[in-house]
């Protein structure tokens, strides 16, 4: 498996005019960098590809799904903005060599509400219809679209592996997969090992996050069982450290990061990499 770090550890929005984050990820010894696509207009795919090649870094990409990019929204123009954003991201993945575009593409982050059953079903139907369009486009460009179950405080649509698999079944596309994150799984799954095994071959992306979003290995996520389960599924793709810094206010607010999670982002990434190499390294 390839060990990576997400650009949100240091910067948001990521901008290709400043390549220092990529250089930092390479210098720390990671195999891969994950580009967080806050604003596609700030990324020059050609410039990014050249830098990745120079640093010999593999790449993945994840999305930022704010309220204006919601494929499940009741307003058609908001749905279309979400679909357009996903298609733009898939094109960029194709250009830079990312095999996956990951994240909670089914809805906007931060929607946690009591809804009537009919309203919830209507919202899910809109998500399915638009994800079918996006997955078809993903197939066309040869990239997987991986949907991420989030914890109950960040979404009310897909919290568990079981719910994610149900959505995938409804969309019925070989290019719609699962993106799992141990931070969310620690909250929502009864047994992380069981959930990973259940997800099986549907897993296309994996975030290694500690229970408090701190450095992997510093909390109580059962990493030995997680690694064993992931290997049992045959997973051989990226394992990425995702965390956030309080200084990036918009992201910190969305993820409820109110205090430093390590002495520095560099230290969080370095300690996490050293720890994860024991379980996931080649």
Which residues face 155 on adjacent strands? 111
Quote the tokens at residue 138: 């993903």
**Rounded Cα gap, residues 103 and 185, in angstroms:** 14
DSSP state at residue 110: T
* Residues labelled catalytic: 148, 242
**Rounded Cα gap, residues 137 and 87, in angstroms:** 7
* 76-96 helix and 117-141 helix, angle to the nearest 10 degrees: 30
* E-assigned strand segments in 18-175: 32-37, 58-63, 100-103, 144-147
**Rounded Cα gap, residues 185 and 30, in angstroms:** 24
* 265-280 helix and 223-232 helix, angle to the nearest 10 degrees: 50
Q: How far is CA 248 from the centre of its chain?
A: 18
H or E segment to which residue 240 belongs: strand 238-241
- Exposure string for 4-25, b = 16+ CB within 10 A, e = fewer: bbbbbbbbbbbbbeebebbebb
Count of other CB atoms within 10 angstroms of residue 120? 15
Which residues, 6+ apart, have CB-to-CB distance to 149 below 8 Å?
Answer: 104, 158, 159, 160, 161, 163, 164, 178, 180, 181, 184, 185, 188
């Amino acid at each position: 498996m390839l060990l990576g770090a997400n650009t949100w550890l240091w910067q948001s929005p990521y901008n290709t005019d400043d390549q220092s984050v990529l250089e930092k990820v390479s210098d720390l010894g990671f195999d891969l960098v994950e580009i967080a696509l806050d604003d596609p207009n700030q990324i020059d795919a050609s410039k990014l590809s050249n830098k990745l090649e120079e640093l010999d870094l593999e790449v993945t990409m994840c999305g930022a799904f704010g309220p204006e990019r919601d494929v499940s929204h009741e307003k058609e123009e908001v749905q279309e903005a979400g679909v357009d954003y996903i298609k733009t991201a898939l094109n960029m993945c194709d250009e830079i060599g990312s095999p996956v575009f990951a994240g909670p593409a089914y809805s906007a982050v931060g929607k946690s509400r009591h809804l009537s059953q009919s309203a919830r079903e209507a919202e899910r139907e809109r998500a399915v219809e638009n994800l079918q369009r996006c997955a078809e486009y993903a197939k066309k460009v040869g990239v997987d679209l991986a949907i991420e179950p989030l914890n109950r405080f960040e979404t009310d649509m897909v919290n568990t592996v079981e719910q994610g698999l149900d959505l995938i079944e409804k969309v019925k596309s070989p290019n719609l997969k699962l993106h799992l994150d141990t931070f969310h799984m620690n909250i929502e799954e009864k047994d992380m090992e069981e959930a990973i095994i259940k997800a099986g071959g549907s897993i296309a992306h994996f975030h290694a996050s500690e229970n408090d979003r701190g450095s992997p290995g510093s909390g109580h996520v059962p990493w030995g069982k997680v690694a064993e389960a992931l290997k049992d599924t045959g997973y051989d793709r990226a394992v990425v450290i995702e965390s956030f810094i309080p200084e990036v206010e918009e992201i910190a607010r969305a993820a409820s990061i109110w205090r430093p999670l390590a002495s520095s982002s560099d230290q969080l990434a370095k300690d996490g990499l050293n720890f994860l190499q024991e379980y996931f390294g080649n």
